[in-house]
Structure formats: structure tokens, C-alpha cells
Amino acid sequence: MFGQLVLGVAGNGSVRSVVTRSGLSRPVVCRFVPGEDVEAALGAVTALRTRGLRATLDVLGEDVTDPAQADATVEAYSQLVDRLADAGLAEGDEVSVKLSALGQALGPDGPRAATERAHRLVERATARGVDVTLDMEGSATVDATLETLRSLRADVPRVGCVLQSMLHRTLADARDLAHPGSRVRLVKGAYAEPAPVAHQHRADVDRAWVRCLRVLLDGGAYPMAGTHDPRLVAITEELLGEPAGAGEPRGEFQMLYGIRTDEQERLAAAGHRVRVYVPFGTDWYGYFSRRLAERPANLAFFARSLVSR
């Protein structure tokens, strides 16, 4: 209920205008978004490397209104993977992309066109040694996104995807994706969804998350546990078992840039693979709103920062 309320307020055009134009909000946003350009993103990745952490980079931008913008997104990601490779940061790091940013919602032909753009991006990224993961968005797009995933994996099996445990359908999707070599980021979900398609209580979402994690591990998939929840982190540590040392781990932890940094370092120091989700770009408002909606503490942090300034 809290998250839906925050997302509802954040979706108001007047609220968006006030927040994005206010100079007071920028220093707070920097807690979650390191900057607006590739240089800022590369700086964040380099800093993470010194702490023993890996990264997945997201070029922010979901409000694509025409094919030219979608093509520009592919070009932005292509330049990003080139810069990662040229800086010696390709190995071990990856990029995350939302199909909405590739034009998935642009009319009846949107899903097909987005798939074609995704193929171009994956081809470029793979050639430069960078992995790609497809982000998951609202429940109405899950089928189209998984169809794109199947198309991409026919050529590049390492392409990853995201599942949201809040959705009733996700356990079945996890079973479909639970096979060796299948890279799946498991998250709770940060979109406002109605009761017919999604769990409405945190405890139910958490239980579904653990069930999905077990299914992925039992099937030999490579789960990417996207959570900051101490209890879920502990459960994941138990299910993953002892770190593999120099070998390939059974899975990894993923956390957001700027959130629970001490825990990120603790897990890495214990020998676990830890990846930090690093978003950057000028279109940061949607991402920022979802971070506020996830936890009351994030909203309180934002409010205190504005008042203190």
C-alpha cells in the first residue's frame, strides 16, 4: 500500500516537474544515480572494482515516444559497451536494458521492433565481451519480454532476464527458466500491480521470492539474487553454500547503487560475487520514484535531505 501511494503521487505531472527542476533534489538523487553521462558511470564502475564489486549498467530512459528515440537508445548502449571494453571494464560487468526503451510499447509492431533492436545491442555487446540482461517492467509486458528473451537466447544463451516475485505467475516462469546456463535476476518488484496479478502483502512476496530462488537453484540456473532484505540475504547465503573460491559460483547477489554498501562489501569479502546495479542518465525520475516507493526509509531520507538543505 505504501509503495502504491508513493508511485501514485510520483506519477502526478506537477510533482514530477517540481522534483526534476529543483536543484535541492539533485544531491539526494546522486545517492541512487551516480550521474547523467558515461563518464560518471565509468567512474562509478571503477570505484566499485576497487571494492571487489561488479556492476550492471542501466542507461535510464523509459518514456520512448518514437522509433528514433529507441534507435538512439541502442546507440547509447553500443557506445557504453565500447567504452567499457576500451577501459578494460568489460570482463565481469554487464548492461541492463528495458525493452520499453527499445520501443516495445510503440504500437502493434513495437514488440517485434524492440526485439530487433535488442538483437543489434546484444550482438554488439557480445562482440565486446559485455553481458546483457533484460529488465522486467509492468505485468502487461511480461509475455512479450520473455518472448524477446527466447529469441535472443537462440543466438546468445547468456542473455539474462529479470523475474518479479510479487507476480502470481512468476513461480511458473521460474520453472521455465530453471535450466543450466540460464541467468535470472530475481527481485521482489517495484511496480504498482493489482491483486488479480500480484501479491499485495510483503510476507507473501518474500515467500514467493524464496520459492523462486529454490526452483532456479534446483534447476541448475544461475540466480542473481536482487535483494537488500537481511533475512532474504541470509537465506540466499545458506542456499548458495560456501563460495566457490576461484571457480564459478552457483549464483550471485545484486544490490542497487548507494543502498546497503556495507553489506555489499561484507558479502564480497566473504567470497560471494556481488554486482551493483548502476543507473545513469538524464531521465532519472522514474527510477528514483521506484526507489522511494520500495522502502519508507528511502522516502524519509529524501525528505530529511530537502529540509536540511
Marked catalytic residue, from 135, 153, 273, 291: 135
Instruction: Render 207-255 in DSSP notation, one character per residue.
Output: HHHHHHHHHHHHTT-EEEEE---HHHHHHHHHHH-S--TTS--S-EEEE
User: Three cell numbers at 202?
Assistant: 510483503
Distance in angstroms (rounded) separating the CA atoms of residues 100 and 104: 5
Question: Which of these is catalytic: 54, 153, 185, 273?
Answer: 185
Compute the distance between CA of residue 35 and CA of residue 52 in angstroms, rounded to an integer.
Answer: 21
Q: What does the block give as the cell for 239?
A: 542456499
**Do 133 and 185 meet the contact criterion of CB atoms below 8 Å apart?**
yes
Give the angle 135-24-42 at the CA atoms, nearest 5°. 45
Contact 206, 188 (CB under 8 A): yes
Does 86 qualify as catalytic in the annotation?
Answer: no
Q: Is 250 a catalytic residue?
A: no
Please report, in angstroms and rounded to a whole number, the separation of the first and last CA atoms in the chain.
29
Confirm if 90 and 124 have CB atoms less than 8 A apart.
no
Q: How far apart are CA 145 and CA 142, in angstroms?
A: 5
Q: Which residues are catalytic?
A: 135, 185
